[in-house]
Amino acid sequence: MIAALQIYTALRGEITYLKKSYFSPPFKLADITENRNQKVLHLMQMSSSPGILDNDQFEIEINLEENCHLQLHTQSYQRLFSMTTGAVQTMRVDLAQGASFIYLPHPAVPQANSVFTTRNKIYLSKGGRLIWGDIITCGRKLNGEVFEFSKYHAVTEVFMLDRLIIKENICLIPGLMNFNTIGQLEGFTHQASLIFLEDVKDLNKLIREATLFLEMQTDIIFGITPAPTSGLLIRILGNKSEQLIHCLKTLTTLFTKEK
């Protein structure tokens, strides 16, 4: 199936609104903003499909005008079903000056023999903020499927004023890789990553607060690295989806609190 989702936001006063949208099946889009007086627009990306199937090709485009604030939510876990050829998803996000985008999708669950490639390109301007999360699991762990998928490949590129500043390349091929080794998953079954970019006056304070929170969590290991521009790159290894979701949401709250 070939499908597309397009989102365009604009500003009315100080409040972000959905200027224009387009989606084709199985995509759906809902405005779930509870407080219409708040600056941030909350949209939910939904799907009438149970998951991503063989030969699916999904294309997502998001465009935020100056000073817009959007948080895009997802409805459920991204289930990747058994495949022969594979499926592909591309996502492009364009943020004008002063725009803010938060995206913490549900974890990807690659089932046995699934083949999936996702490519993300994010273009930032001055004065903007990006919070981009990603969680990949070993598969249907409770059903006994642990790293039985064929391939999972996620490439995320972030550009600042059209200059590449971050490229994250996650390629998991269970048949060729030993996930227990150092530099891989080191015995864990789930991996979360978070990209946070914003001009912050006291980045060291944020690092200390994020470290303190993550050190209080059990059964995870993590790393925090300053981004090439002002911001942080965080990687967390664990064994439970819900725990990693909680970590990313809490870190997002920490990074977006009034300074």
Helices (H), the chain: 203-215, 241-256
Cβ pair 147, 185 in contact under 8 A: no
Q: How far is CA 148 from the centre of its chain?
A: 23
Range of the domain at 65: 2-256
pTM: 0.95
What integer pLDDT is reported at residue 257 of this predicted model?
85
Higher pLDDT, 131 or 177: 131
Order of strands, edge to edge, in the sheet holding 151-160?
15-23, 2-12, 57-64, 87-95, 115-124, 151-160, 163-172
Taking only the tens place, the pLDDT of each residue in 40-68 is 999 999 999 999 999 999 999 999 999 99
Domains held by the chain: number: 1
Cβ pair 254, 213 in contact under 8 A: yes
What integer pLDDT is reported at residue 258 of this predicted model?
61
- Residue 249 confidence class, pLDDT cut points 50, 70, 90: very high
Average pLDDT (100-115) is 97
Cβ pair 75, 111 in contact under 8 A: no
Average pLDDT (57-82) is 97
